[in-house]
Structure 1
Amino acid sequence: MSEKQRPPENGFDIAVVGAGIVGLAVAGEILRRRPGARIVLLEREPEVAAHQTGHNSGVIHSGIYYTPGSLKARLCVEGAALMYEYCEQRGIPHERAGKLIVARTKREVEGLRVLHERGIANGVPGLRWLESHEIPEVEPMCVGLAALHSPNTGIVDYAEVCRRLERELRESGATVLLGTRVERIDRSGDRSIVRTDRGEVNAGWVVTCAGLWSDELSRRSGAEDNPRIVPFRGAYLHLAPSDAEPVVRGMVYPVPDPDLPFLGVHITRHIGGEISIGPTAFVAGAKDAYRITRISARDLWSLASWPGTWRVARKFWRTAFTEIRFLLSRRAMRSAAAEFVPEIRRRALAAHGAAGVRAQAVDRDGTLVDDFVISEVPGATHVRNAPSPAATSAFALARELVDRFERNLGAAGRP
């Protein structure tokens, strides 16, 4: 570590691992509650938002999909309100663009009714059922038997939010150590020793928000080996720039498969005006497989040695064939989106798309974990599963995490 970045001799009060949006929000929440606390934020990459946060669709979700009473349901609705408030106060570009979830068959209409009930139970604001003839009032080029309109669903550049959070942390006196990979966390007395590739950092408590590497870090730091992260690569197509009317005003989604935590191929207008189609969802050859050819022997071994991986494969092999078709054919992927926005068939695709990798926790028994998972060991709180809508929920999830570790500090008799 450079002289400017050398930690104080007696260490830090709290260390946060991971400078995606959740880690940044946690560090900010700690300083909001404890002004003057000695905080260090450690990130393996040379910049913030380098992985899931910087490679997602930029959607501020409203909370429709999630099981009532789950952490996702509660924290998404609360988090969306906090995200809008944060962006409005700081002038970060964002928009309540609205979203339609469209049913194309009678069976999907029944699934849509379930989502409608969930959205109401979760307190999603402004949710409205649309019959077929009402759909063009919201999205003129969209067709379907019925739809749910969520006017509170929005768009934002989460990487821009993260850059603002990083700047505020530094201005508030936090130490931000980029390019510092955390290898494990040990406990010594009442201190946690964070062992990194650049030396040791000690802190009274550690909160880890390590995303794609959350299972490895928590396991090496004394937590149980279940669940494990299985990386799913999501590829997006983009429509070529055009002077024609945009195919969507906001977002158009299909009714998702209730057995999967993915939302299907959808159409999104982003904050910069570009329009994407996707994502796919296929097991990746590496946790940072932003290029399809990227393979990691270590990550492949983790996948192959985990019983849950094979159980998921056996259960969802039909879905895998669909994803392979999307992987091999841009036309097939565009056709899936054109089922509810036919105009897409007449629009040109950009030469290059984009891709992200989703950290999906999978239990040993093959269950795809469909809620945020937080585990605790002496001296550390670990976020074990935080896929979508983690970015939307970031500020609310940060409050939840800080509440938990403060209860632990109180139980240990410390202020």
Structure 2
Amino acid sequence: MVRPLLAALNQHGRYAYRAPEFQVDHVVIGGGVVGLAIAHALAQRWPDKSTYVLERHAQVGQETSSRNSEVIHAGLYYPAHTLKARMCLRGRELLYQRMAQWGAPTRQVGKLIVGTHDDYAYLARLHAHAASLGPLAPPTELLNGDDARALEPDLAPSMAHALWSPRTGILSVHELMAHLAQGLDTLPSGETPDAEIVHGTSVVRLDPHEPPRSASKRGADASQEGWVVHTRTHDASHAQTDALLARVVINACGLNAPRVLNALMAGLRAPQAQWVPMYFAKGSYASYRGPGTEHVRHLLYPTPHLGAGAHGTRAVHALGTHLTLDLDGHARFGPDLEWLDAPAEDADAEDALGYMHDVWETQLAPSASEAWLDGMHAAVRTYLPGVQRAGLAPDYAGVRPKLAGPDARAFQDFEVLWHSSRALGQQRVWQRALPASAAPSGVLVSLLGIESPGVTSALALAEHVVEGLAARVWGDADPRGRARRYVDDVGPAGLEAWA
């Protein structure tokens, strides 16, 4: 049984509470593709409001975002009416549109999901499901084996059926993130928004802000509601932190997102059984140079029971070991699926920033044993028999944030949770909307379990979050947000000196 990690920011009390010294409208925790997309959308919608992305690494996208297949998913697999389905379908179209506007390359190469005679029922169900997904439903076509081999002549003779998905594509995630970051510097109009990425800075503590009781009338518009975000720069002394008062906090730090939400649960002395569990699933990729893929022009996905890879039947929790192409036409295989066990909780496992040691930090290289490569080769040969073992080489690995372990049978959706800094103790952990009594400020939005198709869904998730903030925080009457300002005395309205 895989053990989850139950961990929270400042779990062992290393960082004491500090009164806020600066104020900011939006803090986005995490500079991955989802965090950048949300920050970009905030800066475009409300350029006069301050938006700061806090990224603990020296560059953006160093964890999950830069370690995936770089596929624009069509949205075939997810149950209708789930958030994951809606975000993938909408995000797919936004990606193609925005990348074209930016002049960034994408290729709508399409993909074939291939199977044997025994897989026809699965492929037929997938075809019918795709057709039922509404106005943005991805087109699909059922093919027999000969028709599939007309598209991909290297397919195994045993591949008797296939589902063709022409709307699937590929992109460069690094180019996507670069354009999102650029949008924080300059608007299409040439105007400069009040937005910035702050690198090398970790969030180490989060607390709801309690406004002074004496400011009753001035605080009646919730202008003093918010969150105290404690940060530490990596070149600062161990004890040195800064405290910011943020009207809105976006928790988009991927693999560590549950730590932020769990910190609030710990502050309320909620038992660990009520915390959000953290599971980690490693996926390794192999590059390929050799015969057997000379004619491949599309992405090739096996049905889930095919291509399980070195970890056998556990790969049914993923989509099998598939073939993807990059924008230069190079083939790679993967990912497989390997569940990582969390370490036993131990105060000595804290790093210098007060985190428990990230279980996945040492897992960012492929499992490059001969047995792993043998298993990858065996999986691939079920549908591409000409692939040679000697042409496979370890490439890279990524770790996916999971909210449920390998024994889970229910579909795991994306989770976008909303919390108010007011009356936090009366709110639920798994809260998908703000309570009616919530103040129109002091909002925490947590994005949890954003694994595949996270890149495809990023722009739609950003749209979803911004629409929620427009409805409950800033309002649509003044889209530039000039009317509402802080009225308390918490430092300057901007972070130029701090950042």
**TM exceeding 0.5:** yes
**Aligned-pair RMSD on alpha carbons?**
3.2
Q: 1:248 aligns with which of 277, 285, 296?
A: 296
> How do 1:334-413 and structure 2 match up within 5 A?
334-345=377-388, 348-350=391-393, 352-362=394-404, 366=408, 370-378=412-420, 379-409=443-473
- 1:335–1:271 CA distance, 2 compared to 1 (3 A): same
> How do 1:26-45 and structure 2 match up within 5 A?
26-45=38-57
Q: Which amino acid aligns with 1:192?
A: W
Aligned to 1:196: 231
- 1:365–1:346 CA distance, 2 compared to 1 (3 A): closer
Q: Which amino acid aligns with 1:36?
A: D
Aligned to 2:284: 235
- 1:360–1:19 CA distance, 2 compared to 1 (3 A): same
CA distance in 2, matches of 1:363, 1:184: 27
CA distance in 2, matches of 1:34, 1:232: 37
Aligned to 2:14: none
CA offset at residue 256 of structure 1? 2.1
For the residue of structure 1 that corresponds to 2:124, the secondary structure is: helix
CA distance in 1, matches of 2:370, 2:85: 31
- 1:82–1:109 CA distance, 2 compared to 1 (3 A): same
CA offset at residue 271 of structure 1? 1.4
- 1:127–1:390 CA distance, 2 compared to 1 (3 A): same
Task: State the TM-score, normalizing by the size of structure 1.
Answer: 0.82
Q: Does 1:132 align with 2:132?
A: no
For the residue of structure 1 that corresponds to 2:194, the secondary structure is: coil
Aligned to 2:3: none
CA distance in 1, matches of 2:165, 2:379: 22
Q: 2:319 aligns with which of 240, 243, 263?
A: 263
> How do 1:66-85 and structure 2 match up within 5 A?
66-85=78-97
CA offset at residue 191 of structure 1? 2.0
- 1:364–1:373 CA distance, 2 compared to 1 (3 A): farther
For the residue of structure 1 that corresponds to 2:201, the secondary structure is: coil
CA offset at residue 346 of structure 1? 7.1
Q: Does 1:117 align with 2:128?
A: yes
Q: Which amino acid aligns with 1:267?
A: L
- Choose 108-117 or 18-27, whichever is displaced more: 108-117
CA offset at residue 410 of structure 1? 6.1
Report if the CA contact (8 A) 1:265-1:336 is conserved. Answer: yes
Q: Which has the larger radius of gyration?
A: 2
Report if the CA contact (8 A) 1:72-1:372 is conserved. Answer: yes
Report if the CA contact (8 A) 1:141-1:247 is conserved. Answer: yes
CA offset at residue 110 of structure 1? 1.4
CA distance in 2, matches of 1:59, 1:390: 10
Q: Which amino acid aligns with 1:154?
A: G
CA offset at residue 99 of structure 1? 0.5
Q: Does 1:98 align with 2:102?
A: no
CA offset at residue 11 of structure 1? 1.5
For the residue of structure 2 that corresponds to 1:253, the secondary structure is: strand
Q: 2:194 aligns with which of 170, 173, 193?
A: 173
- 1:300–1:164 CA distance, 2 compared to 1 (3 A): closer
Report if the CA contact (8 A) 2:377-2:387 is conserved. Answer: yes
- 1:131–1:369 CA distance, 2 compared to 1 (3 A): closer
CA distance in 2, matches of 1:265, 1:82: 27
Report if the CA contact (8 A) 1:94-1:156 is conserved. Answer: yes
Q: Does 1:274 align with 2:298?
A: no
For the residue of structure 2 that corresponds to 1:53, the secondary structure is: coil
- 1:282–1:361 CA distance, 2 compared to 1 (3 A): same
- 1:363–1:341 CA distance, 2 compared to 1 (3 A): closer
CA offset at residue 170 of structure 1? 2.7
Task: State the TM-score, normalizing by the size of structure 2.
Answer: 0.69
Percent of paired sites with the same residue: 29
Q: Which has the higher helix share?
A: 1
- 1:366–1:197 CA distance, 2 compared to 1 (3 A): farther
CA offset at residue 364 of structure 1? 12
For the residue of structure 1 that corresponds to 2:403, the secondary structure is: strand
Q: 1:86 aligns with which of 70, 88, 98?
A: 98
Aligned to 1:146: 161
Aligned to 1:3: none
CA offset at residue 232 of structure 1? 1.0
CA offset at residue 220 of structure 1? 0.8
CA distance in 2, matches of 1:146, 1:364: 29
- 1:260–1:69 CA distance, 2 compared to 1 (3 A): farther
CA distance in 1, matches of 2:262, 2:464: 22
- 1:363–1:192 CA distance, 2 compared to 1 (3 A): farther
Aligned to 1:155: 170
Aligned to 2:222: none
CA distance in 1, matches of 2:275, 2:294: 45
Q: Which amino acid aligns with 1:370?
A: Q
CA offset at residue 89 of structure 1? 1.1
Deviations 1:86-120 (CA, angstroms, capped at 9, x unpaired): 111112121001100111241x2211122112211
CA distance in 2, matches of 1:32, 1:255: 41
Report if the CA contact (8 A) 2:22-2:244 is conserved. Answer: no
5+ residue gaps in structure 2?
A: 1-19, 187-192, 212-224, 234-241, 306-313, 344-354, 361-365, 421-442, 478-482, 485-499
Deviations 1:214-246 (CA, angstroms, capped at 9, x unpaired): 111111134884542211111111102x59863
CA distance in 1, matches of 2:243, 2:409: 36
Report if the CA contact (8 A) 1:277-1:334 is conserved. Answer: no
CA distance in 2, matches of 1:324, 1:58: 20
Q: Which amino acid aligns with 2:288?
A: L
CA distance in 2, matches of 1:52, 1:128: 32
- Choose 377-386 or 222-231, whichever is displaced more: 222-231
Report if the CA contact (8 A) 2:27-2:250 is conserved. Answer: yes
- 1:178–1:79 CA distance, 2 compared to 1 (3 A): same
Q: Does 1:215 align with 2:258?
A: yes
Q: Which amino acid aligns with 1:163?
A: A
CA distance in 1, matches of 2:265, 2:409: 23
